[in-house]
């Protein structure tokens, strides 16, 4: 791992403490400190009055200990004087109420006033920071997004209208695109158009465009800051810190496109281990061919809960390296005595003393440093499988009332977990990215798609790839309106099917079931599915949603056995050029049935399951290294068929032997 770091707050602890901290950091193998993201009130205590001595002195001390600095713009926490003097910089909620100072992220990103103040502090910081050789990178803001909600102020409303005018050109086109003929929704004046916020009562097209607008505005705000830094501190690395495995509010593929590195704040106790791995697969995929950074992770519990096992921190860090991270920043150096995140444990205790977490970090980081020369030159792991994750689809489902029934993101994670459980490395990519290199391309509920994507997909399959589509596919246009003809849009020839619609399997029609009277009572319906995989007859059940499929030019591998779609196709397959297009027209099938179908798809795609391990024991290959990580609290053995030599851990008789939370780093010979 090239960069081993921590978030450090000299503005809070005082410059007199920095020498002690820097010495302890160096001993712990830390070579990078992230500074300043919440320090605006200590940098500019009054408008236009800057106090940066503490910052300059702290950075000089860190430099003496060989510690580089990731400098942050402090705009995530505007100072109280700014909010009180310039209320137009503060978010207005959908109900018209303006937020107050006292939390964070309460700024309106489109406010010209706010941007003017941001520009001034960033320019001053750049002027100071470029004097320091160890300030090599910048973080824009902190975790961009609607932490306290999006802004609905009049400035944002008028920016939304301008955004729509640019997109549609006229109100007539907008009315047509949104299909406003129902419920008298036609607009006759631009001033009538406002941001949508309610998936149950606002037009779904309006909600979807609102989500696109909010994402675009936040990216615009991020790039506004990036451009100031690039003008004033050229040559530095410019980035920002993302969140999640799949952050639902900002299109990260767009956000990071013009930034230098994709960064994730990844606390391994937030998600299940497979979701954590999904996060790393997302951030590796965002900028193809580039290593990603973990800009925040915990050395202790994220909140006041049980901290990780003393070996678990190391297992997480090695998993991060295996998936392509080159930076591991701990949040934070020391547990704060006060504040909103008082219970979040730092590497040092609140006493300032190095105890258990410090030892765990020190052992792990120095292990990485000892191997740095070799590890930092290893190229990224290579995936044969890609899941297409489309923000338009995510937002489309979030904009309509049926969204929760389809459970788009849980479906993405469900598919990813099948691959994770088989130790198959997976890229999670945007539909605009190049997918020609993958053997298997997976489309989860891709309810809308465009012609350009359909053409590229057809070409990839013709050249030999397998595409596996599950759930709703190509049934709506890009404005979230259903198509006036059968789907899948532009893909009927590839899959050899027509999709006429589908059926949600949540029932209120039973004699004791009701939508309202005397109270809501519903039943869950399952529909039997029967067919064969590799010559073996299989049956199972489908739930949640089933597709109304008409076979045109395909083989029907499974059919529904009852309800309205009896004997209609449930899973179809078509050869297309050198590849294959497979469609599963149901969601939430019986686990065993879905697993068998999935194994068959992998076999047909020539994607090999090389390493069989218990769930949450990972094997990842990078160049001539094989990294084996045991996330379980019990010892395990993993068969490694190729001859290897252990760099870390134990390898005997063709097996990697791992203690609880153990790591094996094996070099192929």
Query: Which residues sit at the interface with Zn ion, rule CB under 5 A?
Result: 108, 151, 153, 156
Q: Give yes or no for a contact between 144 and 259, defined as CB atoms under 8 angstroms apart.
A: no
By beta-carbon proximity to Zn ion, the closer residue of 93 and 500 is: 93
How many Cα atoms within 13 Å fall on the side-chain side of residue 351? Answer: 5
User: Angle CA(29)–CA(31)–CA(32) in degrees, nearest 5?
Assistant: 135
How far apart are the C-alpha atoms of 640 and 172, rounded to whole Å?
64
The label of the residue with tokens 């076979």 reads 551
Q: Which is nearer to Zn ion, 215 or 605 (by Cβ)? A: 215
**Catalytic pick from 11, 44, 128, 296?**
296
Q: Cβ 213 to Zn ion, closest distance in Å?
A: 11
Distance of alpha carbon 221 from alpha carbon 109, whole angstroms: 6
Q: What is the b/e burial string over 317-350, where b = at least 16 CB atoms within 10 angstroms of the residue's CB?
A: bbbbbbbbbbbbbbbbbbbbeeeeeeebbbbbbe
Query: What is the closest distance, in whole angstroms, from the C-beta atom of residue 162 to Zn ion in the complex?
Result: 13
Q: Is 44 a catalytic residue?
A: no
Among candidate residues 11, 37, 128, 143, the one labeled active-site is 143
Cα 317 to Cα 129: distance, rounded to the nearest angstrom: 30
> Cα separations (Å) of 231 from 119, 223, 579?
11, 12, 48
Q: Is 67 helix (H, G, I), strand (E, B) or coil?
A: coil
Least distance in Å: CB of 153 to Zn ion?
3
Nearest of 241, 243, 312 to residue 273 by alpha carbon:
312
Spell out the alpha helix ranges (H) of 463-548. 492-495
- 87 vs 179, beta carbon nearer Zn ion: 87
For Zn ion, which is the closer residue by CB, 88 or 599?
Answer: 88
Q: Give dist(CA 485, CA 82) in Å, integer.
A: 54
Angle, CA 352 vertex, CA 348 and CA 354 arms, to 5°: 45
Shortest CB 43 distance to Zn ion, Å = 24
Per the annotation, the verdict on 326 as an active-site residue is no
- Cβ proximity to Zn ion, 25 vs 156, nearer residue: 156
The C-alpha angle 359, 361, 366, rounded to 5 degrees, equals 95
Longest dimension (CA), the chain: 77
| Shortest distance in whole angstroms from residue 399 CB to Zn ion | 20
What's the rounded Cα separation, in Å, for the pair 658 and 651? 9
Name the minimum Å distance from CB 210 to Zn ion.
Answer: 13
Closer residue to Zn ion (CB): 129 or 151: 151
Q: Rounded CA gap, 180 and 432, in Å?
A: 29
Nearest residue (CB) to Zn ion, 156 versus 375: 156
Minimum CB distance to Zn ion, residue 168 (Å):
22
Please give the C-alpha separations between residue 464 and each of 606, 610, 635, 655, in angstroms, as whole numbers.
Answer: 11, 21, 41, 35
- The catalytic site residues sit at 143, 296
């Amino acid at each position: 791992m090239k960069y081993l770091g921590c978030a450090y707050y000299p503005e809070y602890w005082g410059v007199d403490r920095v020498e002690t901290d820097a010495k302890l950091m160096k001993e712990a193998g830390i070579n990078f400190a992230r500074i300043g993201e919440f320090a605006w009130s200590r940098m500019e205590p009054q408008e236009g009055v800057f106090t940066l001595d503490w910052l300059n002195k702290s950075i000089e001390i860190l430099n003496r200990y060989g510690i580089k600095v990731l400098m942050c713009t402090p705009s995530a926490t505007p100072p109280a004087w700014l909010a009180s003097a310039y209320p137009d910089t503060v978010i207005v909620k959908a109900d018209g109420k303006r937020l107050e100072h006292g939390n964070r992220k309460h700024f309106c990103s489109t406010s010209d006033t706010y941007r003017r103040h941001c520009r001034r502090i960033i320019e001053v910081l750049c002027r100071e920071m470029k004097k320091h050789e160890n300030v090599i990178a910048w973080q824009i803001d902190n975790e961009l997004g609607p932490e306290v909600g999006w802004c609905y102020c009049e400035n944002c409303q008028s920016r939304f209208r301008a955004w729509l005018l640019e997109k549609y050109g006229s109100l007539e086109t907008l009315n047509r695109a949104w299909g406003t003929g129902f419920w008298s929704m036609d607009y006759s004046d631009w001033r009538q158009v406002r941001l949508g916020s309610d998936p149950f009562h606002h037009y779904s097209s309006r909600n979807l465009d609102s989500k696109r607008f909010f994402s675009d505005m936040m990216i615009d705000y991020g790039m506004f800051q990036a451009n100031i830094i690039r003008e004033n501190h050229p040559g530095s690395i410019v980035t920002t810190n993302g969140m999640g495995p799949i952050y639902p509010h900002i299109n990260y593929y767009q956000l990071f496109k013009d930034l230098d590195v994709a960064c994730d704040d990844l606390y391994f106790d937030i998600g299940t281990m497979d979701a954590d791995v999904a996060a790393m697969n997302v951030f590796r995929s965002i900028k193809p061919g580039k290593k990603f950074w973990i800009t925040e992770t915990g050395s202790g519990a994220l909140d006041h809960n049980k901290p990780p096992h003393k070996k678990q921190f190391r297992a997480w860090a090695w998993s991060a390296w295996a998936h392509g991270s080159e930076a591991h920043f701990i949040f934070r150096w020391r547990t704060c005595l006060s504040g909103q995140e008082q219970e979040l444990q730092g590497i040092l205790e609140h006493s300032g003393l190095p105890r258990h977490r410090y030892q765990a970090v020190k052992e792990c980081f120095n292990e990485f440093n000892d191997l740095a020369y070799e590890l930092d030159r290893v190229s990224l792991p290579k995936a044969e499988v890609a899941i297409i994750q489309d923000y338009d689809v995510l937002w489309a489902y979030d904009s309509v009332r049926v969204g929760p029934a389809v459970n788009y993101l849980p479906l993405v994670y469900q598919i990813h977990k099948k691959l994770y459980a088989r130790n198959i490395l997976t890229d999670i990519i945007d539909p605009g990215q190049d997918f020609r290199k993958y053997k298997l391309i997976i489309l989860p509920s891709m309810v809308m798609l465009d012609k350009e994507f359909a053409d590229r997909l057809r070409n990839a399959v013709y050249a030999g790839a397998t595409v596996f589509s599950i759930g709703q596919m190509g049934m709506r246009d890009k404005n979230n309106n259903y198509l006036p003809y059968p789907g899948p849009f532009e893909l009927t020839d590839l899959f050899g099917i027509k999709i006429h619609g589908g059926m949600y399997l949540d029932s209120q029609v039973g004699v004791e079931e009701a939508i309202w009277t005397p109270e809501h009572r519903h039943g869950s319906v399952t529909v039997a599915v029967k067919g064969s995989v590799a010559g073996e007859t299989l049956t199972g059940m489908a739930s949640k949603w089933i597709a109304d499929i008409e076979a045109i030019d395909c083989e029907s591998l499974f059919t529904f056995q009852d309800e309205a779609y009896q004997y209609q196709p449930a899973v179809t397959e078509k050869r297309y050029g050198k590849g294959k297009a497979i469609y599963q027209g149901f969601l939430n099938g019986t686990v065993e049935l879905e697993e068998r179908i999935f194994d068959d798809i992998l076999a047909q795609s020539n994607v090999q399951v090389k390493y069989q391990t218990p769930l949450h024991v990972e094997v990842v290959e990078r160049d001539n290294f094989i990294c084996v990580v045991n996330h379980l609290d019990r010892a395990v053995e993993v068969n490694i068929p190729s001859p290897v030599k252990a760099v870390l851990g134990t390898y005997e008789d063709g097996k990697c032997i791992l203690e609880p939370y153990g790591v094996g780093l094996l070099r192929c010979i």
